[in-house]
Amino acid sequence: MQPLNYTIKKCLGLLGPAAISALLLLSWSTWTEAASELTDKGYQLDQIVMFSRHNLRTSITSEDSSAATMMTHPMPKWQVPRGNLTMKGGVNETILGQYFQLYLMDEGFMADSWQPGYGQVDFYANSYERTIATARYFATGLLPTANITIKHTKAVGGSDAVFNKPFAMDTPKLMELAMEYHNEYFQSYKDVFSKCYDSFARVTDFPNSPYAKKHGIDHINTDDLALTFSGKEKNVINYDGTARKAYKLLDPIIMNYYQEADNSKADFGTGLTRKDWENLGAVKTKSIEMVVGNPAVALSHSHDILNIMESDLKNDTLKFAFICGHDTNIFTILTALETEDYSLPETILTKAPLGVKIVFEKRRNPQGDLFIYPYIAYMSDDQQRNSRQLSLHEPPMIYPLNFRGLAKNGDGLYRYEDILTLMDRVNAKYEEYCLH
């Protein structure tokens, strides 16, 4: 498949989600009938519960921030407000929705003109524009002729506590767990930054930046990187220091990498290599992971989302659930579920790429036994940056998930009861650490 060219993308910018979906549908190549291997083995697909990160947005780092003074060239210019989904993000999310439409049609799960009945689908997003819009574009790709409602609990721009909570360590046991993680991994955080610093200096020209001149330095080290506690009770965990400001500057740099398919524009003409981009992604990922990959933060932060996902899995009427939040939620969900460590291929954001989905497929064997096939679905950097169209023959990246302490059967599936037991175990741990 060829990527969408500039002319098409320019035209798409004038269209709404429904028109984008209709146009993209016309460009799919034909495919042969080929159900998944699991279906061939007799595992009927009954339900999908999906948690998604929003797709490509504009930067949330402001031009007048201290972090912005760490580079010599101007911040990228965006055509939509700060923190909102870009049109390219909308196109890519529609493409992902259309891929799942093709996949679910091929599985015999739905017809191309499926009009879900009451309670058969549920789309729920945090109340930010980028999460609501992501859910809308995905729904347009998946169910272009259905009038899907995107639920959100606050006015647009508000923050739903299901997705966003303070990282408060408000019990002694929770604080102890948080400190154990910090003590074990803090040095690795500093090591990742130090190892990847040259790539940051190259893309920002840091030694000549206003920040460097103001502070009389020509290099960033991690000597002042420190764990901090804020809030009324001084128990909200985070990190501070010069390296933390550099992490914040990576937001517009990495978003520009995905927005600009032309490498010379993506790196501001600094000649970054693929390894440089991988280094920048490693710093971005590790900086997030140090906070929300902390098991203590993950327990408290993911509790409501996991309860919703468990309730969805138990709902026999519900056929498709889509929940849309943030990269922080991806980290906390998978950390709380004690997912085996993973590194996603073909992306610089190896833990939580833009638009990534945690997918739980509920399947039934011929004997009526229920199973869960859990995996991560995401666009590779090439697919994302070039808005490459997906099909059954050119799918997104699929990465199976493995949970510590649980055994898969020979076909790579977990027993449904084991997944529910895992979620109950996480709930019990939440009560132990967060409520006492």
In angstroms, the CA 151 to CA 155 distance is: 11
Of 273, 295, 317, which marks where a domain is finished? 295
End-to-end CA distance of the chain: 55
pLDDT for 13? 44
Q: What is the mean pLDDT of the chain?
A: 92
Assigned domain for 289 exists? yes
pTM confidence score? 0.91
Assigned domain for 222 exists? yes
Q: Which residues pair with 401 in a beta bridge?
A: none
In angstroms, the CA 266 to CA 71 distance is: 15
Assigned domain for 81 exists? no
H/E element holding 44? strand 44-53
pLDDT for 436? 86
In angstroms, the CA 285 to CA 304 distance is: 24
Cα 369 from chain centre: 31
Q: Inform me whether the pLDDT recorded for 15 exceeds 60.
A: no
123 and 25 in a single domain? The answer is yes
- Strand-strand pairing, 320-325 and 44-53: parallel
Assigned domain for 66 exists? no
244 and 306 in a single domain? The answer is no
Of 275, 295, 315, which marks where a domain is finished? 295
Confidence of residue 24 (pLDDT cuts 50, 70, 90): very low
Lowest mean pLDDT among 25-34, 85-94, 273-282: 25-34
Confidence of residue 16 (pLDDT cuts 50, 70, 90): low
141 and 36 in a single domain? The answer is yes
Average pLDDT over residues 43-68: 96
pLDDT tens readout for residues 252-264: 999 999 999 999 9
Q: 29-38 contacts: CB < 8 A, separation 24 or more?
A: 29/1, 29/391, 29/393, 31/102, 31/106, 31/391, 31/392, 31/393, 33/106, 34/106, 34/392, 35/106, 35/107, 35/108, 36/103, 36/106, 36/107, 38/361, 38/363, 38/373, 38/411, 38/413
Share of the chain above pLDDT 90, in %: 91
Assigned domain for 199 exists? yes
Assigned domain for 85 exists? no
Average pLDDT over residues 388-416: 97
214 and 186 in a single domain? The answer is yes
244 and 358 in a single domain? The answer is no
CA dihedral 147, 148, 152, 156 (to 10 degrees): -50
12 and 152 in a single domain? The answer is yes
Q: Read off the CATH number of the domain in which 411 is found.
A: 3.40.50.1240
pLDDT for 34? 40
Q: Inform me whether the pLDDT recorded for 17 exceeds 80.
A: no
233 and 190 in a single domain? The answer is yes
112 and 35 in a single domain? The answer is yes
pLDDT for 35? 61
13 and 127 in a single domain? The answer is yes
Average pLDDT over residues 256-285: 97
11 and 140 in a single domain? The answer is yes
Assigned domain for 102 exists? yes
In angstroms, the CA 108 to CA 103 distance is: 9
Assigned domain for 83 exists? no
Q: How many domains does the chain have?
A: 2
User: What is the residue range of 153's domain?
Assistant: 6-61+90-162+300-434
147 and 12 in a single domain? The answer is yes
317 and 275 in a single domain? The answer is no
Of 261, 295, 329, which marks where a domain is finished? 295
CB–CB of 394/16 below 8 Å? no
Amino acid at 158: G
pLDDT tens readout for residues 125-169: 999 999 999 999 999 999 999 999 999 999 999 999 999 999 999
